[in-house]
Amino acid sequence: MKQRTLAIIKPDSVEKQVIGDIIQRIQNAGFKILGMKYTRLTEAQAKAFYEVHKDKPFFESLVKYMTSGPVVPIALEKENAIEDFRKLIGITDPAKAEEGTIRKLYGTNIERNAIHGSDSPENGEREVAFFFALSELVWNR
């Protein structure tokens, strides 16, 4: 069953100019890009997107980081997209991520970890809808 997931190339990866490298890895892994934008999150947008973490000690730091520079949200589709994308990007802490994963290759630390990926099919749908109207998605079926 095809699933949708959201990737966000984070400010540290944009600053390092590795957007193209990351997109190439995503496409090489068989993901179809349904939508993509280059944008900068407002504080309100970042707080709304990461609301699930609002009671955690790292929330304010995460919001500050995610608004510190441009980001590239990408709506993706693939069979088993959530699990496959999580494997492709690696665990949250780049120092502990598997060799060859996006976070291991491009992440700096647990906060500046290069890329976001949805953690469930439900969140994938919700997160894609946060950044993209249905009319903005291109279906490559």
Question: Choosing from 3, 116, 124, 132, which is the catalytic residue?
Answer: 116
In angstroms, the CA 95 to CA 111 distance is 11
What is the tens place of the pLDDT at every residue in 71-86?
999 999 999 999 999 9
53 is catalytic: no
| Tokens encoding 28 | 């090489």
20 lies in a domain? yes
What is the tens place of the pLDDT at every residue in 64-73?
999 999 999 9
What is the tens place of the pLDDT at every residue in 15-58?
999 999 999 999 999 999 999 999 999 999 999 999 999 999 99
In angstroms, the CA 60 to CA 67 distance is 11
Are residues 71 and 39 in contact, defined by beta-carbon separation less than 8 angstroms?
Answer: yes
Are residues 106 and 9 in contact, defined by beta-carbon separation less than 8 angstroms?
Answer: no
pTM metric for this prediction: 0.95
53 lies in a domain? no
Task: Report the CATH number that the domain containing residue 30 is assigned in CATH.
Answer: 3.30.70.141
Across the chain, mean pLDDT equals 96
65 lies in a domain? no
